[in-house]
Amino acid sequence: MTPGLMIAAPASGTGKTTVMLGLLRAFRDAGLAVQPFKSGPDYIDPAFHRAACGRASFNLDGWAMPATLLDTLGQRGADAELVLAEGSMGLFDGVAKPGATGMGSSAETARRMGWPVILVIDVSGQAQSAAATALGFARYDPELRVAGVILNRVASPRHERLAKLGFEEIGLPVFGALPRRGDLVLPERHLGLVQAVEHPELDRLIGDYAAFLAAHVDLEAVRAAAYARPVTPASGTLPPPPAQRIALAQDAAFSFVYPHMLEGWRAGGAEILPFSPLADEAPDASADLVWLPGGYPELHAGRLAAAETFRAGLAAHAATKPIHGECGGYMALGEALIDAEGVSHRMAGLLGLVTSYAKRKMHLGYRRATLLGEVAGMPEGAVLGGHEFHYSTVLEQPDAALAHVVDAQGEAVPETGSRRGAVTGTFFHLVARWW
């Protein structure tokens, strides 16, 4: 495999996304072909990775993905010179019960792929004590190698010297120390970062990250720490296309599609026909299937309610051919969506679902779904692995259940998805079919 590294952290909020984007752009600017990955079920970071280095980034998820899919995706960097994977949450954070392959932690991903870990350590409010944290991470799993650290949010040269003293004591390399900067922060909203397509100055901001990293991090030492594990070529396959001609909603309201899904559809010979509901475009009438992915329909509910051409096109398609929606796409197929101000907006009305953001409740976690009927080319009884993350409250869900859905603990969840004729929808985003 191509030499690789996992950019991880002890916890969320340490600045690892800034470090990841800066490294991707800095190495790309140095002339390297860099392949990015994201550990875990993240919809947004892969688009930022692509913007930083020009290559599609793929999720690697040990809970939701079978081993063959993990290994197949892991070899997507075979034509690159360096692999960088961004971790999620803390390095060892996962769920309590195994899924398709494991618990879903970044450490599992790094161990499976053979990648050493660089920890991004937020040293705010501490100095030598940061080394004790890093030492615990380095010793927690003897099969996982922590190659070194990048210190973040360093307050002063004195603070940097004191923090580095601790790492000298334990013999763990410090690849760089990043001074505290309040201006190098991506804007956020309730599901995390603003989408890459929404950021008007993203390229300039990533360029600033790269310059910042290049000034304060030993990039050659980082590259030298990468490791290539000998592997047997994977024999697995990517997810097959659910149809041969797929009309795919793609705009600021509908953009959460896992890159490996699209890769699999295209590899299977499917033709993807993008259209924009926000531009009041109807899906291509020749499509075999309409797919509405997740996104932020609640932020554009008024425009969707006024999109008569889009709504008529969906209704015409549903009369003879299937439509499937995931999360935001599922909500858009429903009867109504109530925004955060309590205003009700008419949706497509192809399902009876009514959702509300006036009564917010977080729904987050892995999902295992057993289909109660055929969905998008998958037969009744198929078992799917996926992930759910939204803040909407279901007020009405009158249609037939789509699946029996449980969380990572095996506990049933009430969000079963819906079916009405040829129209189906789920709150979870499909990651992989298990069997």
What is the b/e burial string over 18-39, where b = at least 16 CB atoms within 10 angstroms of the residue's CB? bbbbbbbbbbbeeebebbbbbb
Q: Is the dihedral of CA 209, 259, 386, 69 positive or negative?
A: negative
Assigned token pair, 61: 């998820």
Rg (CA), the chain: 22
**What count of other Cβ atoms lies within 10 Å of the Cβ of residue 197?**
12
The answer to whether residue 53 is catalytic is no
Residue 194 carries which DSSP code?
A: P
Which residues 6+ apart lie within 8 Å of 376 measured at CB? 242, 243, 289, 291, 322, 324, 424
Question: Of the residues 225, 327, 371, 431, which is catalytic?
Answer: 327
Contact 46, 59 (CB under 8 A): yes
Angstrom distance (rounded) from CA 23 to CA 77: 16
Assigned token pair, 20: 């990841």
Q: Which residue has the tokens 């008007």?
A: 200
Angstrom distance (rounded) from CA 57 to CA 45: 9
Nearest in space to 322 (alpha carbons), one of 361, 391, 374: 374
Nearest in space to 137 (alpha carbons), one of 165, 109, 170, 169: 170
Distances (CA, A) of 283 to 256, 309, 352: 18, 9, 21
Report the residue count for the chain: 435
Angstrom distance (rounded) from CA 311 to CA 35: 39
Please identify every residue annotated as catalytic.
Answer: 327
